[in-house]
């Protein structure tokens, strides 16, 4: 099994790159021919952020957190599959695009409520999962529906915002996984 810090670093790098990818797309309307592959990799990076949260101890806060994180992981896996399926089977891809964010949003809201109440430590690491889940329901889904989804600039901007939140979640998991000599409190303080 991969090392937890490596998973968190990979999640951070992919989600940070995803933020840039979506932001550039929102501004320039640029979409590469293999955009579906880049977007599938991005969802895998978001899935890795969930795995990093689990590795950092978020799932030990209770059964509801474990179930919520499992739903979020499944949602991100569904989104990765949707990206690959959509070019050849758009109707199936559309169904998966409807289910994936819902699983992720509800899962992170459930897990996030428990994490906020039970997970020690200050800052982003406690509220990040709840904010990512709420963002799906309050911002991402309404914007995607209202704009018609990508490649609409508003949709891509909303996706870029989502990836900023994912990158912060990955960074906070990494801070919790930092070795003792790396000064995890300094890393966590940088996230405030």
**Burial per residue of 79-110, b for 16 or more beta-carbon CB atoms within 10 angstroms, e otherwise:** bbbbbbbbeeeeeebeebbeebbbbbbbbbbb
What pLDDT shows up at residue 122? 62
- Choose between 165 and 118: higher pLDDT: 165
Identify the pLDDT of residue 2: 62
Instruction: Judge contact between 157 and 139, C-beta under 8 A.
Output: no
Instruction: Dump the DSSP string for 96-116.
Output: HHHHHHHHHHHHHHHHHHHHH
Q: Which residue has the higher pLDDT, 33 or 45?
A: 45
Is the pLDDT assigned to residue 184 strictly greater than 80? Answer: no
pLDDT band at 29 (very low <50, low <70, confident <90, very high): confident
pTM across the whole model = 0.88
Q: How far is the C-alpha of 168 from the C-alpha of 135, rounded, in Å?
A: 13
Rounded Cα–Cα distance for residues 96 and 75 (Å): 9
Instruction: Assign 126 a pLDDT band (cuts: 50, 70, 90).
Output: confident
Domain edges within the chain? 4-187
- pLDDT above 50: residue 1: no
Average pLDDT value for the chain: 89
């Amino acid at each position: 099994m991969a090392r937890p810090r490596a998973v968190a670093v990979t999640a951070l790098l992919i989600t940070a790159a995803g933020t840039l990818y979506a932001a550039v797309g929102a501004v320039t309307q640029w979409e590469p021919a293999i955009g579906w592959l880049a977007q599938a990799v991005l969802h895998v990076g978001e899935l890795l952020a969930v795995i990093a949260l689990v590795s950092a101890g978020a799932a030990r806060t209770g059964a509801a957190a474990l179930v919520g994180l499992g739903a979020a992981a499944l949602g991100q896996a569904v989104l990765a599959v949707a990206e690959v399926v959509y070019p050849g089977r758009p109707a199936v891809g559309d169904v998966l695009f409807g289910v994936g964010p819902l699983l992720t949003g509800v899962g992170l809201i459930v897990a996030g409520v428990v994490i906020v109440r039970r997970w020690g430590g200050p800052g982003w690491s406690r509220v990040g999962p709840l904010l990512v889940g709420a963002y799906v329901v309050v911002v991402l889904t309404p914007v995607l529906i209202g704009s018609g989804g990508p490649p609409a600039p508003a949709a891509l901007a909303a996706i870029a915002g989502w990836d900023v939140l994912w990158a912060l979640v990955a960074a906070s998991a990494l801070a919790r996984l930092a070795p003792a000599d790396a000064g995890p409190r300094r890393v966590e303080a940088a996230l405030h």
